[in-house]
Structure 1
Amino acid sequence: MTTFTNSRSSAIMVSILGDLTLEDLRAELTRRKPDHAQLEGGWASIDDTASNIGRRNVAPPESDPEILPAAGEYPRRLAARYYFFTSNKRLKRDFPDSEQEHHVVDAFDVLIHIDSEDRMVALLSSRTATAAGRLMKALREAVAELDESGRVEVDGGELGFTPDLFFWLIVRSRDNRQIDGRTAIDAVLAVNGQDNVRRTTLLSDGVDFSRPALLVAVAEIEQLGPVRVALADTQLNAKVTADVWSGGVFSVRKGDTHYTDEVDSPELRFESIQDFAYHLLPKLIRAYYADAEDDWNDARRSAEIEAAAQSIIDRYRTKYPQLGLAPA
């Protein structure tokens, strides 16, 4: 069993609006190569061979973005890597005479596909969330070159959902962890809560309804989220753990993600991002909306809130009988 050792890989899904195709965008990105001499970022393939990421005074390998065929849960997608150059104070101090000497290579991976509603959406992935502005600027420039009215919107794409899903998730984890025949909620490991004056609470080390802090968060009708959830899938032979936000943002926690009989590698780390974005998180979202049309409705939600409040009263009636709390 492979357990990832690095901390996390972050990703966000955005929408690309405009009169363009994957083939158009591939051609435009291919034209925009990274330039080491000018320290200007540019586009290449996602091949990790001699990527030079993290190395000083080197150029990224020259290659072209490519369109990958649909495979299993993965859609047909344009795969590209945006390379850029970054510096820091230490490098500037140690190598003052050369711009190239105090810059290292960094990168974002980008996967772009056409969704079920015929919209173009992009999955942006990085080992770090820093310098995301450079990527968005470069992507917007390429889109605008193809369609001057085209734009990139940070709207979560297919992975955007109402924060109510987080409340549903902790209830579903308590009552029925199985999402379908192959995917299950292994655990909800942490959840944030925010009350109506924007004070935040973090519940970690496992989330369940025996914990007073969770009961209080539910009873006071706080907005829950983000959450840390572990999802197990028998077809993937994996347990993937991720922090999830409602705006199409997530981070796979690589130290808590396990693939059976697979060797840890950059390719496998990127596979975990794709598995979560194209398969596991969409399953959760579909299950939430299916339940919202059936069992998870206003009455059920209100009943859960009232039950949490009653559990708090019962707990304190037993623990502090001197308070004289009357039975319901």
Structure 2
Amino acid sequence: MAVLSSNQVAVYPFHLDTTATLDELAQQMVVDRFKPTKSSSVGWGSIDDDDTGIKLPPIVKIDAGRPSVLNASKAQVARLRARYYWLRSDSVARRREGISAGWQATTVLEAADVLLWDDPTGGYTGVVTDRPNHMKPINALVAVARAVDAKASFTVDTIPQRLDPDFFLWLMYRARSAPDLTPDVRLGGITHISSMDGRQRSVDVKDGATLDRIELAASIALGATNFGPAKFSIDTSNEGASFFIDLHPDGGFQPYKSSSYEDPNVMGHDFMLTMIEDLWMKTLPELRSIYASDTAWARDGITRFRAEARDEVWALLGFGSTR
């Protein structure tokens, strides 16, 4: 379980293809409002619902609110915010309470928030605030959409927010050589990066992803490794923010509460919501655009970076430069 008021929220992205409007989706969610009447109960509510009952048996009345739709403005596209609820059988409670116990004593309430934005190219782009259980709310959202539009569908694999394997290599290169991505965007240090080679062997580099880490330098030099996710900081004057995030190849991410805004008014109740919306709709699209337009990287940057990594490996082994 993770909702927007949780201490840690990692989101999973998707795209919803439907002709249904946000208002129609919200109205259908009201029809499918969560009412815990049996162990298989599921349904929708509001991101502003009281979260104190989540992860607990549903013995207290749950007052699920209405999803909210925000109209488009000069600064924002139209968007929908909703919470999806389901009940999970709790094996610990079953053992404790015994086989004769009622479902209210042997289940716990789970929830995930769903954020949906109008996509100018068609349909909606969205994120779920529970990466491990992302398909539960996504499938429920598609069911809502199909109640209005029978042809509604979704994808998580072919969305434009997914990151090319080369992206994380570029990220390490820029953090090392040119962290000022634009006059308004600066890349901070990469504190953690994961990788997987062609033989499905993984390497996790923590406490600083720099070339003096021989396992990382070797992986870069060999050129047969896909990198990501990566944990790093990024400062953007456009949002007046310093974000510390964990970014995944599928385009999902986890923003940390060590992030901050220059405006102290943002650092309140809606801090996590504001961060997720800013990262998804502004900062991460800008970061992808900077990567895509880096012609120097595409021309010879990747070759030079691999050569630097080979030199670092040789130096760390005491053999001197390869050039």
Does TM, normalized by the shorter one, top 0.5? yes
Residue 272 of structure 1 aligns with which residue? Answer: 275
Amino acid at match of 2:69: I
2:19 and 2:123 in contact (8 A); partners too: no
Deviates more, 1:223-232 or 1:245-254: 245-254
Does the 8 Å CA contact 2:314/2:321 hold for their aligned counterparts?
Answer: no
1:290 aligned onto 2:293 = yes
* Alpha-carbon distance in structure 1 between the residues aligned to 2:240 and 2:247: 21
Task: Tell me by how many angstroms 1:168 deviates.
Answer: 0.5
Q: Where does 1:42-191 land on structure 2 (aligned, <5 Å)?
A: 42-49=43-50, 52-56=53-57, 57-70=59-72, 74-96=76-98, 97-126=101-130, 129-155=131-157, 157-191=159-193
**1:12–1:124 Cα contact (<8 Å) kept:** yes
Aligned to 2:255: 252
**Residue pair 1:13, 1:248 contacting (<8 A) in 2 also:** yes
Moved more, 198-207 or 69-78: 69-78
The Cα RMSD (Å) is 2.8
Q: Give the direction of change, closer, same or farther, for the CA distance of 1:118–1:12 in structure 2 (3 Å limit).
A: same
What do residues 184-214 of structure 1 show as CA deviations (whole Å, max 9, x unaligned)? 2122111112222121111110112333222
Deviations 1:200-236 (A, max 9, x none): 1111101123332222111011211111111223454
Tell me the CA shift for residue 29 of structure 1.
Answer: 1.6
Say yes or no: does 1:19 pair with 2:19.
Answer: yes
Q: CA deviation at 1:15?
A: 0.9
> In the alignment, residue 122 of structure 1 is paired with which amino acid?
G
Q: Which has the higher contact order (CA 8 A, sep 6+)?
A: 1
Q: How far has the Cα of 1:132 moved from its partner?
A: 3.1
How big is each residue's C-alpha offset from its partner over 1:118-164, in whole Å with a ceiling of 9 and x where there is no partner?
331111113xx444332132122112222222211113634212121
Letter aligned with residue 175 of structure 1: S
* CA pair 224-73 structure 1, distance change in 2 beyond 3 A: farther
> Helix, strand or coil: the match of 1:20?
coil
Contact 1:161 1:246 in 2 (8 A): yes
CA distance in 1: counterparts of 2:315 and 2:175, whole angstroms: 23
Q: Deviations along 1:243-276, whole A, 9 cap, x unmatched? A: 211212222234x434564687663223222232
Consecutive unaligned residues of structure 2, counting only runs of 5 or more, are none
TM-score (norm: length of structure 2): 0.86
Structure 1: stretches of 5+ with no match in the other structure: none
Say if 2:233 and 2:243, in contact at 8 Å, map to a contact too: yes
Contact 1:80 1:110 in 2 (8 A): yes
Cα distance between partner residues in 2 of 1:281 and 1:60? 36
Whether 2:284 is the aligned partner of 1:281: answer: yes
Quote the Cα distance in structure 2 between the aligned partners of 1:73 and 1:140: 28
Q: Is the 8 A contact 2:12 2:134 kept in 1?
A: no
User: Percent identity between the aligned chains?
Assistant: 21
Contact 1:51 1:61 in 2 (8 A): no
